[in-house]
A and B are shown apart, each in its own frame.
Chain A
């Protein structure tokens, strides 16, 4: 079956613009994660959903970052008033259940460049 998909794959935004990044997890996967990966660094956790409930948002860097998963499947990461330091690859991952030890399957990421 299809893996995790993300769109768009590339996004260029002017500083101050709002952006929305989409994640389609593997069908039936309960858990969904967002990570941010700066150039030359490993991915860093942003937030976690179990179905539609956002159980952990401690990694979101500021209140400009907002994530939702209203129907427990597709998720959107929104960044308001983008800044240059938001430039990064945004990775989405999903896992089958919510017990904490399942394999996380990652999408290809969205590369965001803020000018």
Chain B
């Protein structure tokens, strides 16, 4: 599976958009980009996924570059409850397992 690179940690201001970057330069054509987050002492929570088009749902937007070598997860209006570890995962189509990595510890600051 392709490897992803994320910042170890970042701070975001409450009420502002939070832009979380992810590099996946070795991604192949049949691999999707998934984002999960894990709030302290809880299990991971699915956020969004995409292949090559930008995606939006009620939680976030996912912007994937044209060459698919990087992506950005956007939380449009960060709240304190968005403080969590965010995982960017590249997942081949048909592959059931998720390869999480260490993730990005995001802290939303009042």
> Which residues of A come within 8 Å of B, CB atoms?
4, 31, 33, 35, 40-45, 48, 55-56, 59, 91, 93, 98-101, 103-109
Contacts of B41 in A (CB 8 A): 108
Contact of B97 among A4, A45, A103 (CB under 8 A): A45
* B24 → chain A closest CB, angstroms: 15
Given the known interface contacts A45-B98, A101-B32, the answer about A91 and B103 at a Cβ–Cβ threshold of 8 Å is no
B9-17, B43-51, B60-68, B70-78: which one contacts chain A? B43-51
Whether A103 and B94, one on each chain, are in contact in the complex, defined by CB atoms closer than 8 angstroms, is: no
- CB pair A42 B96 closer than 8 Å: no
Which residues on A sit within 8 Å (CB–CB) of B45?
A: 106
Tell me, yes or no, whether B80 is within 8 Å of chain A by CB.
no
Determine the main DSSP class of A at the interface with B: loop
Whether the Cβ atoms of B94 and A101 lie closer than 8 Å is: yes
- The smallest C-beta distance from A103 to any residue of chain B, in angstroms, reads 5
Interface class of chain B by DSSP: loop
Closest-by-CB residue of B relative to A42 is: B100
Bound Cα distance A101, B91 (Å): 9
Asked if B43 and A106 sit within 8 Å, CB to CB, the answer is: yes
**B69 interfacial contact with A, CB 8 Å:** no
| CA of A101 to CA of B95, assembled, Å | 7
Residue of B nearest to A95 (CB): B96
- Please, which residues of chain A bring their CB within 8 A of the CB of B85? 42
Q: Are B97 and A99 in contact (CB under 8 A)?
A: no
Interface residues of B in 82-110 (CB under 8 A from A): 85, 87, 91, 93-103
Ordered by A's residue number, 29 sampled pairs between the chains whose C-beta atoms are within 8 Å are A33-B97, A35-B100, A40-B102, A42-B85, A42-B102, A43-B100, A44-B100, A45-B98, A48-B97, A56-B96, A56-B97, A91-B44, A93-B44, A98-B96, A100-B93, A100-B94, A100-B96, A101-B32, A101-B91, A101-B93, A101-B94, A103-B46, A104-B44, A104-B46, A106-B43, A108-B41, A108-B42, A109-B42, A109-B43
